[in-house]
Structure 1
Amino acid sequence: MSLINIRLNNIIKKFILLILITFTSSSIKGQEVYETLPPDFIKTIEFFGSSDEFSGTPIISINETLNLKFDDLTAAENDYYYEIEHYNFDWTPSKLSKNEYLEGFDNIRLFNFVNSFTTLQPYTHYELSFPNENTRGLKVSGNYMLKIFNSNKELLFSRKFIVFENLVNVDIIIRRSRNLTYLDKKQVVNFEVGRDDFIFRNPEQTVNTVVVQNNDFNTAIYDLKPQFTQGNRLIYRYDEESSFWGGNEYFNFDNKDIRQGTLRIERVELDDLYNSFLYPNFLRAGNVYTFYPDINGAFRINTIQGDDIDIESEYAKVHFTLQNSKDLENGEIHLYGRFNNYVLDDSTLMKPLESQPNILTNELLLKQGFYNYKYVFLDKNGNFKEGFISGNHDVTENDYQVIVYYRDIGARFDRVIGTGFGNSENIIN
């Protein structure tokens, strides 16, 4: 082979390698980003906007205050820092630089922390609110991630939040399914988007939507396209595509009085910490629906033993029991709720007793308060069924929210131009 051919082959190889590196780099940059789960010593993450009643994944207006609270069970007054990042509709990193979406600075230490007072479990309670003197505000709407780092710049945990502008109206109607098979089991979200002074350009490509039930993004429905338009309004009247299982009302317990039992707590024992033993729960699938007020999976910290619930609330070992008669050969049962942002992992797994395999138990370390929870079935493929234990009903009371994203032709990021709320309490046919 001639020297020219050798050099030509080397050039071609370098060119191919450069293309592969560029493609790989682009693929990494374009990957969807997920929340980082906290380590075991970080507990009770409360994340909410100033207008929110309960913690969850905040969906806030662009001028609203965002609040974060969490406890560090090492009680060592560790140094933690926060950063804020902007994302596209699909949770891939946006192309905006930090000064294009952030007013002020991040990578700032959390200065607001205090140690617990008179609790058996010592902990340091941290709080963060912004806008603040360092992070003065957010310039644009869209998807965001709040990241908490330790003093070694290691990512401790992260949580998503969404910022919207009030540019369009989002009107929601909750209906029963038109499919007779699911008439008494599913709820369908129909909605309209628009405002007289807002003109959509090419909405099939520029508009994206997310429909969320009870602030649970695990079951959210993404990217429904408008079926037709009426003037400046986009109409979404899907049936199957925008349907959710109705589920059932959540179980609950309240241990704000840590020292004695209640209607939901059978007994309390004290060793190194308080132990709250809940009354057993039973299979509800197949039973007639019974209304019982809940807070749709949320939780609220509370104690009657102190004045400051943030630092005087105890941590208790809460013992859950489920009597199950269903076959679990192809999956497992997990606890489910907003107490850990709807995460399913080893800590939420219900395990059978050796002597009585039809009785499942679990124990969670939870801060005093009022909690909603339910049991869900997770199969071997990672799919879960909310109604496996509790059943599904069309009349179950659920909250719904529709989030509308818009990227105008030539724009560099996805704006959230409006959001709407609905509730299935007044479901119609």
Structure 2
Amino acid sequence: MRFNLTLLLLFTWFPQYFFGQIQEVNPPDYIKTIAFKSNTKESQLPILKLGEYVVLEFDALNGDEEDYYYKIEHFNFDWTPSILVKSEYMDGFDNQRIRNYENSLNTYQIYSHYKLTIPNAQTKRLKVSGNYLLSVFNDDDELVFSRKFMIYENKTNVGVSIKRSRDVQFIDEKQRVEIVISSNSMQFNNPKQNVKTLVVQNNNLNTAISNLKPQYTIGNKLIFKYDTESSFWGGNEYLYFENKDIRAANIGVRQIDLQDLYHNYLFTNTERASKPYTYNPDINGNYLITTIDADDPSIEADYVWVHFSLIVPNSFRGDDLKNKSIHIYGNFNNYAIDESTKMIYDEYNQVFTKPLLLKQGFYNYKYVVLNNGKLDEGAISGNFYQTENNYKVIVYYRDLGARYDKIIGLGEGSSVNISN
């Protein structure tokens, strides 16, 4: 009876942890342009060295100048809560108000821009490596949104090389990742059990491959040369537009209109899966806030209704895509797929359309298909082994008797020089 009562209490207090891994929570409509990065790289997935800073910025468009609070939690490799108490992974306190905010200046859309830097005067230091979740709450202690980030210790060398698939069926469509992990400062004990890896393509955790085991060892080197297990679809280069000047047509913008806010109409895109691969430099799904004639784009860049349009033949790959769900995809909303990104079919013009409210800047995007809940990134854009993609390999280690999963190394590679 005592055991059952304990289980009941645990389910009551921590229900979100008993039904799978913790997931990021996407914000409501009035929270826009969440930028989350380390102090050294312009990435929307912060992976920072122990001791470095992480910066969170976002806009609240409701004009209420609300107070927001943040909490930081530590997690295991599989995103289940670690058993560490806060004082073991943090010097200082969380659950603090975000004090740094400014209101927009000379913009049609009124908003408040919030900025949080960690460490700070209240949260003085994050002491251990591993997985972290940063959650933002409002005055009523309601969760507004959350984002994952990682802290690593530089204890290993992680070699990453990108190869073409060995599977003839997908040799022109997939890329595979080969990994070599070595260290001069530590000995790997039982690496098949204690070493875990996470391979991330273009900072997108939704498509990451986790928990590859070393196939064999040479001395103190761990070798990973999988084929199918470490393969990603190559995808295609991202489309892009720039509207740093909302009063004039920029890259990708064909028409401008001013109503309550500015409206930018992009050139209509077509499917690329049936066309040959064409190299087109991109920033791998990322975005950058920028505007002309402004000293501080974070508060002087305006919000614009950006109108996307897409023509897809009904006979494309034998499928009638009008009966499927097509979404606009990119890091501007953390690769979220929901009603806010779902395109609507215009019967009269025979084109899919969708307006999105976005802050001025340079954006990468592409179109993806959701078919019976399954994501197909290449249905419209295509999959090509030549596509330039960024890959990050994160190495976790839990030694015998340890109480949490450390991150002991980070490796990075690009498919720009892909080989057989």
TM-score range (shorter-chain normalised) is: over 0.9
Match of 1:343 among 320, 331, 336: 336
Change beyond 3 A, Cα 1:330–1:198: farther
- Would the aligned equivalents of 2:322 and 2:345 in 1 still touch at CA under 8 Å? no
Match of 1:363 among 329, 332, 355: 355
Residue of structure 1 equivalent to 2:33: 44
- Would the aligned equivalents of 2:241 and 2:253 in 1 still touch at CA under 8 Å? yes
**Which structure has the larger Rg over C-alpha atoms?**
1
1:102-251 equivalence runs, <5 A: 102-251=90-239
The sequence identity of aligned pairs, in percent, is 52
Match of 1:21 among 2, 5, 8: 8
Equivalent pairs, count: 413
SS state of the match for residue 229, structure 2? helix
1:335-386 deviation per Cα after TM superposition (whole angstroms, max 9, x unaligned): 0000000000000001100324x41000100000000000011111x21111
- Would the aligned equivalents of 1:305 and 1:312 in 2 still touch at CA under 8 Å? no
Farther off after superposition, 96-105 or 327-336: 327-336
Shift of 1:44: 0.4
Gaps in structure 1 of 5+ consecutive residues? 1-13
Residue of structure 1 equivalent to 2:288: 300
Residue of structure 1 equivalent to 2:63: 75
Change beyond 3 A, Cα 1:307–1:20: closer
TM normalised by structure 1 equals: 0.93
Residue of structure 2 equivalent to 1:281: 269
1:41-63 deviation per Cα after TM superposition (whole angstroms, max 9, x unaligned): 11000000011123x12111111
- Would the aligned equivalents of 1:71 and 1:123 in 2 still touch at CA under 8 Å? yes
Match of 1:312 among 294, 300, 310: 300
Counterpart amino acid of residue 186 in structure 2: F
Residue of structure 2 equivalent to 1:404: 395
1:92-107 equivalence runs, <5 A: 92-107=80-95
Residue of structure 1 equivalent to 2:327: 334
Residue of structure 2 equivalent to 1:87: 75
Shift of 1:19: 7.2
Match of 2:371 among 376, 379, 386: 379
Shift of 1:205: 1.0
Shift of 1:15: 6.2
SS state of the match for residue 241, structure 1? coil
SS state of the match for residue 355, structure 2? strand
Change beyond 3 A, Cα 1:388–1:153: same
SS state of the match for residue 198, structure 1? coil
SS state of the match for residue 339, structure 1? helix
Q: Distance in 1 between matches of 2:393 and 2:220?
A: 18
- Would the aligned equivalents of 1:183 and 1:394 in 2 still touch at CA under 8 Å? yes
- Would the aligned equivalents of 2:237 and 2:284 in 1 still touch at CA under 8 Å? yes
Counterpart amino acid of residue 239 in structure 2: F
- Would the aligned equivalents of 2:243 and 2:251 in 1 still touch at CA under 8 Å? no
Match of 1:415 among 381, 384, 406: 406
1:153-187 deviation per Cα after TM superposition (whole angstroms, max 9, x unaligned): 11111110011100101001100011111111111
- Would the aligned equivalents of 1:336 and 1:343 in 2 still touch at CA under 8 Å? yes
TM normalised by structure 2 equals: 0.95
Q: Does 1:389 align with 2:380?
A: yes
